[in-house]
Amino acid sequence: MKMTKKERILATLEGEKTDRIPASFWRHFYEYETGAESLADIMIRYEREMDWDFMKVNARASYHDEAWGCKYEFYKDGFRKPKKLYHPVKSIDDYNEIVVLDPLKSPPLREQIDALHLIGKALRDDLFFVMTVFTPFSIVAELVESFDTIKEHIRNHPDLIHRVLDKITSTFEKFIEEALNTGISGLFYATRHWASNDYFTPEEFLEFCRPYDMRLLEKVKSCPLNILHICKSNNMLSHLSDYPVHAFHWDSCDPTNMSLQEGKKNVTGAVIGGINQKTTILKGSVEECLKEARIALNLTGRHRWLLSAGCTYPPETPIENLRALREWT
């Protein structure tokens, strides 16, 4: 019997049999991401064209830190990500300017809420859609000049960084409350660089990320679909396996990370991935894409698995590869 998209996702999360493999892939549409109406419109058009089983709202990453003063140059060609032009924290004293914001009065945050309202209205409850939110530490890290700068600050001024993290988390608690009023199904919650052993130690992540992650995830505990995206190579999946989410997403094709099979043994939820967004789906043939999908199928036994790439796929990716994967499911 043919399932609805929501039924298919819920059954997969519960480890039950489904009529086919659920799938969703996402990309940036940079040229459409600077306005609520244009973002909502491209998200809906993309979903209607590809017919994915859930929608990851792929807002511009910079909306998080623009709220506290970062400035960017945006391009019209759709193939270049925004370039940061200005970071507001030039010295330790500048952290005192970081305050708790009202998301409805902060233009970058309000823009996302408005887009979510439009998306929710257009979808008419036909499928789950999740909003992208980053771990608060990643937002603090964008306010300074470099990763080296933020690492120096946490070594020498940890209490100050915690105070800033509290303010940013409080703002996003309010943001999530407003987002829930739009009908979102949950969060696509991303660690960015900071759950990678290349950037942080597990002890640093435990101190500067986890407590704030838990506060934000608590806000969506009643939602049907929360996804944890563990970014980058050499990631800390084993340390985050108890996060209160329904599904875990990471680059399982990266040899420094766990495979889907290994990951399933470490987490209680479903796993998402299987396709290499850097090589196979971008440069490979249709048959190579399908071969990789079949490998993922064998690794997971089709159990608690959703087909996707390991991260956002590049805009240059051939559409025929995506269509073939969607038809294969």
- Match 């690794």 to its residue by tokens: 299
Report the distance separating Cα 2 and Cα 214, nearest Å: 36
Confidence of residue 1 (pLDDT cuts 50, 70, 90): confident
Residue 19: per-residue pLDDT: 96
- Average pLDDT on 292-313 reads 96
Which residues, 6+ apart, have CB-to-CB distance to 221 below 8 Å? 244
Report the distance separating Cα 195 and Cα 261, nearest Å: 20
Q: What is the average pLDDT score of the chain?
A: 97
Report the distance separating Cα 2 and Cα 53, nearest Å: 13
Cross-strand pairs, 272: 249, 306
Report the distance separating Cα 59 and Cα 96, nearest Å: 28
- Answer for the pair 327, 24: CB distance below 8 angstroms, yes or no: no
Number of domains composing the chain: 1
Confidence of residue 125 (pLDDT cuts 50, 70, 90): confident
Cross-strand pairs, 131: 57, 187
- What DSSP element (H or E) covers 93? none
Q: What is the domain-level CATH number for residue 131?
A: 3.20.20.210
Hey, what are 39's tokens?
């973002």
Residue 143 has pLDDT above 90, yes or no: yes
Dihedrals φ, ψ of 221, to 5°? -60, -25
Q: What is the pLDDT of residues 179-196, one digit of tens each?
A: 999 999 999 999 999 999
Cite the DSSP H helix spans in the chain.
Answer: 5-13, 36-50, 63-66, 107-123, 136-142, 147-156, 158-180, 202-208, 210-218, 237-240, 260-266, 280-283, 286-300, 319-328
Q: What is the pLDDT of residues 83-102, one digit of tens each?
A: 999 999 999 999 999 999 99
Domain that holds residue 167: 5-328
Report the distance separating Cα 275 and Cα 251, nearest Å: 8
- Average pLDDT on 9-15 reads 97
Using a pLDDT cut of 70, give the percent of the chain over it: 100
- Please report, as a single letter, which amino acid is at residue 203: E
Residue 266 has pLDDT above 90, yes or no: yes
Report the distance separating Cα 89 and Cα 319, nearest Å: 41
